[in-house]
Chain A
Amino acid sequence: MNKNILLCGVGGQGIVLTSKLTASCAMQKGMQVMSAETIGMAQKGGSVFSFLRLGEGVYSPMFGKKQADIIIAFEPAEAVRMLPYLKDGGTVIVNTRPIMPVTAALKASDYNGTEMLDYLKKCTENLMTVDGDIICRKLGSPKVLNMVMLGEAIRSGVLPFTIDDAVEAMKKSVKPQFASLNEKALRHNF
C-alpha cells in the first residue's frame, strides 16, 4: 500500500520534524520511506514543503501533480499553493490560522486566509479544517501545532499507522520532559 504525503506551511512551523516523525512511524511498520523537502533560503519565513513517499516500488523522493493521497497544510495559502499535487479524491487537512508574509505588511495587504479556505472548500471533497491556534492554546504551547496536525491526519484514516504508533515514534525523538505534552497534542481529538 503506497502513500504519497505532502506536508506544507511556513518556515518555523515544525514541518520538517513532522515529516521525520511520519517517516519513523512508517519505518516502524517495516515500510520503505523516501522524502524530500525545502532546505536553505526558504526556511526564513518562506514556504516550506516536504514530500513523503511510503511503500515499495518508489524511485524518486518527489512525486508529480495529482499524486498526493493527503496534504497536511499548516497554513491556508500554503495548502492552496500545493493543491495541484492532490490526487482526485485526496484529503486535505488545513490549519485555519493564516500567516502574514512580510511583503503583506509592507503592501498593507488584506490577506486573512478566508479566501484560501473558501477556495479549498470549493475544490476539495475531503477537507478537514483544524483551528490549530485554539487547540494549541488549550494545550498550553504554540510549539505542539505539528503534533496536533499529525494527530488530525491520523484521525482522517489516510495514513497507514495508528495514533499509538505515532506516540511511540514521538517518544523516541523528543526529549523526555516534552513527551507528555506532545502525546496530549497527538491524542487531543482521540
Chain B
Amino acid sequence: MHTEFLMGNAAIARGAAAAGLNVISGYPGTPSTEVLETTAKINNGSIYVEWSVNEKAALELGAGAAYCGARSMVTMKQVGLNVASDPLMSLAYIGVKGGMVIMVADDPGPISSQTEQDTRHFASFSKLPCFDPSSVQEAYDMIQEAFEFSEKYHTPVLFRPTTRVCHGYASIEVKDDDECVKNTPEGFVKDSSKWVIFPRLSYNAHIHIEKRNAELSDVFSEYSRNKILPAADSSCRKGIASHGISYTYVQEALSSKNAPKVLKVSTPFPFPEKLAVEFLSGLDEVLCIEELDPIIERELTYICGKYHLNTRILGKLTGNVKTAGENTCDSVADNIADFMEWEKKSSAELPAAPELPVRPPVLCAGCPHRASFYAVKQAMKGKKSVFCGDIGCYTLGNAMPLDMVDTCLCMGAGVNITQGIGKVEPDTSCFAFVGDSTFFASAITGAVNAVYNQADMTLVVLDNSTTAMTGHQPHPGTGRTMMGQVVDKVNIEAVLRGIGLKTVETVNPLELDKAVETVKRVAAEKGVKAIIFKSPCAVLIKPEKPYVIDSEKCIGCKKCINSLGCPGIIISDGKVMTDSSLCTGCGLCSQVCPVNAIGGECNE
C-alpha cells in the first residue's frame, strides 16, 4: 500500500484495475468521464479501452466481454443509463460470468445534467445490486468489492457515485502493483439455454433473482460498509440515516459528545433490512438525509410498517429535508439542528455585498459554433424559423445575444423534435443543430426517420472534430481510438448521403458570407437536407494572432458585442477592445464590423 492524491473518478479507475479489469467501455458524460480516461492513461496494454458511440453500445460490449469471463466495466452519467436501459433490463435476467460493474454517476444539483434522476431507482427497477460510495477512499475500495459480488452472484452490479465523490480529491491508500488481482478470461462457452433470452428463461430467472436479492439483503446487512454508528448518549431516542457524500456532511455536523445513532447505507438495493431493523430499535424518530430521491426514507417507512415499529421516519417526504438540489455541509447541519432541536450557530452576518458580476457559461472566444449560429441567424432573418438544439457545448448557443436554441431535450432529440414541429407548422423553416459526437451517438436514426417520413427540415451538423463539452474525447469521426490507434474516419457527409439526403453541403462557418449564402440556398430547398459546419474546436488548435480594434475607425456601435457575445471583445474605459489573452484570431468579428475597424495583425 502507498498514498496517492487522486480524484474520485481516478480512484474508481485504479480500483477497477486493481480488481483485474479486462475491458472498459463508456460514453463521455459529466461527472463520469474521467474513469475511462484514467484507465486509458494507466493502461499497460492489458485492458481493452473504448469510447463507444453511445451508452447502449458500451453496455452491450461490456456484457459480451463479461459473458467470456472478462471483468468489464461500463461508464456513463445518469442520463446515459436511460439510453442503455434496454440492454440493462434484459442483462439483469441473463447475468454474467466475469464480474461486470456498470458505473453510473449521478449529478445532484444538477450541476451539468438535464435531470436529477436517481440511479438507485434503476437498481431496484432492474433488480440489480447497487453500491453507493461516500468518499474517494471508499470508492477505491468498494469498486473492488463490487467486482467480487458481481462475479460471486453472476450478475452485473451498479456502482453509483455522485458528483462530489467523482470530482472530489483525497490522499488515499492504494495497492502496490504486486497486490493487484489479475484476471484471465476463460472465453465464451456456448450455451443457448443460458445466453439467449426467451420467455421461459426469463420466468425462471425472475424466480432466481427474487430469491438471490432476498439473500443479498441479508448479506448486505453484514457488509462492513453498511453500518450503525452508536449514539454518544445511549438514551438518545433519535437517529439519522444517510448515504454517499451526505453521510460525510452528517459526520461533519456531529461530534463525539452529541451524536445520535447513525445508519450509513452503502447498498441502497437490495436494502440491508436486518441492519435497518437493528438501527430502528429503540428510536422514536429518524431523519433521513439523502440527495436526489427519498429512497432510504421510503425503505425505512416500509420496514416500520412491516415490523410494526413505532418510529417516525422523517426526510424529504415529510418536508424536513429539501426535495431538490445538492446537500451541503451547511444544509445538513441545519437539517440536523432542527431535528435534534439544537440551537443553531449564529454569528455576525456580513453586510450586503455589492452586485456581483454574473458569469454564466458561454461559448469560448473563437468557438466556431458562434459563427455557425450567427450565419443561420443572418440567413433566416425575418423568416418564420425554429431552431432545435441538442446536448453539447452548442447548447450554449441559447444565450444572448445569439439566442439560437429554441429547444433542447436529450441526446439526439432535436432532429426528431424539429420533424414534429414541421408536421404541425408546415410554414416554419425547421432546423436541427447537432454536434459531431452527438450525431454519431444518437442523431443518425433521426435522420433516417426524417428521410423515410418525408420531413421538411435542415439538419445542421456542427462538426468541431471532437467531443468538446466533456473534455475532448475522440469519436468515430476523429479517426483516433482510446487504444491509440489511427483508424479510418467515419465520414458524416457520406453517412447522410448513404441515408438518402440529396443535398449535403460542407462549409467553414468562419467564412461568414459563404456560410450565410449556403444556409439561404439549402434552407430554401424542400425535403431533408444538411449543412455541415466544419471547423475545429478553438481550444484544440493553436490560436492565430489576436485581432485588434482600430480605435480611430471604431464608431462605438458595439455591433460586434451585441451580435456575437464573444468573450474576446471587451469594453475598457468606454472603448471596445479585443482581449489579447482570449482572442484566437478567428476573424468572425472583423466580418461583422460595419466600418472595417477590426483587423488581424497585418492591419495594425
Contacts and interface: CB of A to CB of B under 8 A. Distances in A.
Nearest to A81: B356
A119 interface: yes
B143 to A, nearest CB: 18
B30, B353, B400 — which one has the most chain A CB atoms within 10 A of its CB?
A: B353
A108 B353 contact: no
A122 B351 contact: yes
B569 interface: yes
Contacts of B354: 80, 115-116, 119
B329 interface: yes
Interface string A39-72: 1111111110000000000011111111100000
Contact of B350 (A27, A84, A115): A84
A104 B169 CA distance: 34
Contact of A46 (B248, B359, B558): B359
Nearest to A120: B353
The interface centre, meaning the residue of A35, A42, A81, A142 with most chain B CB atoms within 10 A of its CB, is A35
A39 B561 contact: no
A33 interface: yes
Contacts of B333: 64
B169 to A, nearest CB: 4
A1 interface: no
B220 to A, nearest CB: 23
Given A40-B112, A44-B364, A10 B171 contact: no
A10 B356 CA distance: 13
A103 B360 contact: yes
A108 B561 CA distance: 10
Contact of A101 (B170, B245, B358): B358
B31 interface: yes
Interface residues of A, number: 52
B contact face: mostly helix, strand, loop, or mixed: loop
B353 A80 contact: yes
A27 B169 CA distance: 13
B89 interface: no
A61 B111 contact: no
A94 B83 CA distance: 46
Nearest to A88: B347
A40 B395 CA distance: 14
Nearest to A42: B361
Given A40-B30, A45-B361, 13 more contacts: A37-B169, A59-B249, A59-B251, A59-B252, A61-B164, A62-B329, A80-B356, A81-B356, A83-B350, A100-B571, A103-B360, A105-B561, A106-B565
Interface of B: 3, 5, 30-31, 111-112, 135-136, 164, 167-171, 245, 248-249, 251-252, 328-330, 333, 347-348, 350-351, 353-354, 356-364, 396, 400-401, 469, 558, 561-562, 565-567, 569-571, 581
Interface of A: 10, 20, 23-24, 27, 31-37, 39-47, 59-67, 77, 80-81, 83-84, 88, 100-106, 108-109, 111, 115-116, 119, 122-123, 142
